[in-house]
């Protein structure tokens, strides 16, 4: 009997540089120990998705059709079943994880394995179904995991970080799901209306990414925390933060974080904090009713599949 065709991908956390990365600035991100798995089974008629996290809507139908075309399959006669512990709509990369895992599962069903750059190129195209101007950073984290510096391009420049120590992070999830697409489009409209102001803000974000990268590599958690705080202030100036994010960031700092900021698309969603005692911080935020995870982000990019 043929084994079922499966593909897996990870959730992601952007440490520094979201949004500015869309405009060519560097960013720092990592895979999370959260997993999404897609499995292809036999089905009748047009291909469809079964998932308790993702609606089988027109965008998902397009994702399946385009992923199938990329590996030479007809988009009919199968079902893609998804199991996921990556929360959707909070900025930890559920759309990219879905794109990478579905693409890998369909490639396996077609008896193919895409090489890394092809896989990332197709997955970034698939991600643009969910938001129109993806930098491609989310599919890289979903596909490769580990901690890396990223600059967009065709192909992107991906530099795994050499970390002195794993980075002790807490991710706290906001209660209100929000749309990365809306945040990215809103910023694009503001950038088009006032380019010099936004380009200067993106340059300032790039400087915090460089500071934070050096701090992460040296294991200087206090300096990494300062870079998080500076990046959060710039994200507020870019107009992609939200009052509930700022309240959560303040709460994390008061409870022992060395720095905290929104992560991903923003406008609500998740917050990432660096803390010397991440379990204690997670417990303090958990006592306030927040859902949290602790992630010790590792040194090298590794295959999540």
Q: Which stretch binds ligand MEV (CB under 6 A): 18-26, 30-38, 75-83, 106-114?
A: 18-26
Torsion angle in degrees (nearest 10) through CA of 200, 206, 208, 213? -170
Q: Is 30 in the site for ligand MEV (CB under 6 A)?
A: no
**Cis ω on the peptide bond leading into residue 302 (within 30° of 0)?**
no
Q: Is 269 in the site for ligand MEV (CB under 6 A)?
A: no
Q: Which stretch binds ligand MEV (CB under 6 A): 17-25, 33-41, 268-276, 295-303?
A: 17-25
Quick note: the x/- pattern for ligand MEV over 134-173, rule CB under 6 A, is: xx-xx-----------------------------------
Q: In what order do the strands lie in the sheet with 259-262?
A: 259-262, 271-274, 167-173, 291-297
Question: According to the 3-state scheme, what is the secondary structure of 13-60?
Answer: EEEECCCHHHHCCCEEEEEEEEEEEEEEEEEEEECEEEECCCCCCHHH
Quick note: the x/- pattern for ligand MEV over 183-202, rule CB under 6 A, is: -x------------------
Are the CB atoms for 76 and 45 separated by under 8 Å? yes
| Choice between 47 and 95, CB closer to ligand MEV | 95
Q: Which stretch binds ligand MEV (CB under 6 A): 12-20, 40-48, 72-80, 198-206?
A: 12-20
**Distance between CA atoms of residues 141 and 215, nearest Å:** 20
Total number of residues binding ligand MEV (CB under 6 A)?
14
| Choice between 264 and 278, CB closer to ligand MEV | 264
The CB-of-264 to ligand MEV minimum distance in angstroms stands at: 4
Closest CA to 172 of 85, 283, 258, 291: 291
Q: Which stretch binds ligand MEV (CB under 6 A): 70-78, 108-116, 129-137, 220-228?
A: 129-137
The CB-of-173 to ligand MEV minimum distance in angstroms stands at: 14
Beta-carbon contacts of 177 under 8 Å, excluding residues fewer than 6 positions away, are 88, 89, 90, 268, 269
Alpha-helical (H) ranges within 194-242 are: 195-218, 221-238
Burial degree of 57 (CB within 10 A; 0-12, 13-18, 19+):
exposed
Q: Is 87 in the site for ligand MEV (CB under 6 A)?
A: no
Q: Output the CA torsion sign for 89, 105, 32, 163.
A: negative
Q: Is 121 in the site for ligand MEV (CB under 6 A)?
A: no
**Distance between CA atoms of residues 202 and 6, nearest Å:** 39
The rounded Cα 183 to chain-centroid distance in angstroms is 14
Window 36-75: residues binding ligand MEV (CB under 6 A)? none
Q: Is 99 in the site for ligand MEV (CB under 6 A)?
A: no
| Choice between 21 and 147, CB closer to ligand MEV | 21
Judged by CB under 6 A, which of 94, 180, 208, 232 binds ligand MEV?
180
**Residues interacting with ligand MEV, by CB under 6 A?**
14, 18-19, 21-22, 91, 134-135, 137-138, 180, 184, 264-265
């Amino acid at each position: 009997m043929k084994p079922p065709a499966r593909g897996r991908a990870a959730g992601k956390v952007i440490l520094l540089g979201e949004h500015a990365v869309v405009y060519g600035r560097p960013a720092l991100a990592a895979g999370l120990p959260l997993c999404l798995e897609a499995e292809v089974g036999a089905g009748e008629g047009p291909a469809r998705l079964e998932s308790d996290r993702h609606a089988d809507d027109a965008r998902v139908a397009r994702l399946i059709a385009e992923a199938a075309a990329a590996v030479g399959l007809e988009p009919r006669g199968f079902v893609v079943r998804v199991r996921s512990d990556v929360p959707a709509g909070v900025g930890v990369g559920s759309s990219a994880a879905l794109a990478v895992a579905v693409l890998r599962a369909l490639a396996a069903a077609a008896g193919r394995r895409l090489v890394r750059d092809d896989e990332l190129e197709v997955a970034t195209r698939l991600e643009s179904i969910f938001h129109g101007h993806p930098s491609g950073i989310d599919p890289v984290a979903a596909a490769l995991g580990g901690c890396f510096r990223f600059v967009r391009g065709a192909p992107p420049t991906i530099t795994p970080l050499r970390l002195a120590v794993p980075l002790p992070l807490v991710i706290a999830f906001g209660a209100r799901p929000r749309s990365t697409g809306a945040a990215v489009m809103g910023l694009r409209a503001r950038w088009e209306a006032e380019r010099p102001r936004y380009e200067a803000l993106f340059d300032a974000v790039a400087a915090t990414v460089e500071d934070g990268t050096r701090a992460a590599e040296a294991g200087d958690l206090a300096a990494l925390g300062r870079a998080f705080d500076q990046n959060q202030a710039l994200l507020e100036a870019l107009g992609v933060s939200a009052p509930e994010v700022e309240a959560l960031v303040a709460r994390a700092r008061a409870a022992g974080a060395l720095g905290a900021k929104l992560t991903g698309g923003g406008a609500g969603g998740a917050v990432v904090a660096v803390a010397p005692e991440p379990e204690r911080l997670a417990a303090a935020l958990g006592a306030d009713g927040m859902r949290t995870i602790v992630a010790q982000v590792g040194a090298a990019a590794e295959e999540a599949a």
